[in-house]
Amino acid sequence: MKPKLIKNNHDYEMALKHVESLMDAPESTAINEEIEVFTSLISSYEEKAFSVDLPDPIDTILFAMDQGSLTRKDLIPILGSQETVSEILDRKRPLNRSMTRKLYEKLHI
């Protein structure tokens, strides 16, 4: 199979099958290079076709609170004050770098 840009699911499936067939071939420099070319093409297509957006930070905090049975009061030592916690969770105030670092350290998010 000749390498080409993967533009649709059919091309993607064909490229996957081709790489699979190359894996069963005797190892050689040419085979290794062909595998590298096709895996690069496959990765490029997957990044575009199957991209996953990063979760919303506030939704992530709310999820962590739900999973850990935490209340807004539990976030005060992390985010500062009750008012700050409310403003952040109500999306009226952005998280700053210090808050983000503390959330990572304390809640692992």
pLDDT digit of tens for each residue in the chain (109 aa)? 999 999 999 999 999 999 999 998 999 999 999 999 999 999 999 999 998 888 899 999 999 999 999 999 999 999 999 999 999 999 999 999 999 999 999 999 8
- Look up residue 26 and give its DSSP letter: P
Q: Where are the domains of the chain?
A: 9-49, 57-107
Long-range CB contacts (within 8 A, 24+) of 28-37? 34/3, 37/3
Distance CA 58, CA 64 (A): 10
Closest CA to 61 of 72, 77, 45, 46: 72
The pTM is what? Answer: 0.55
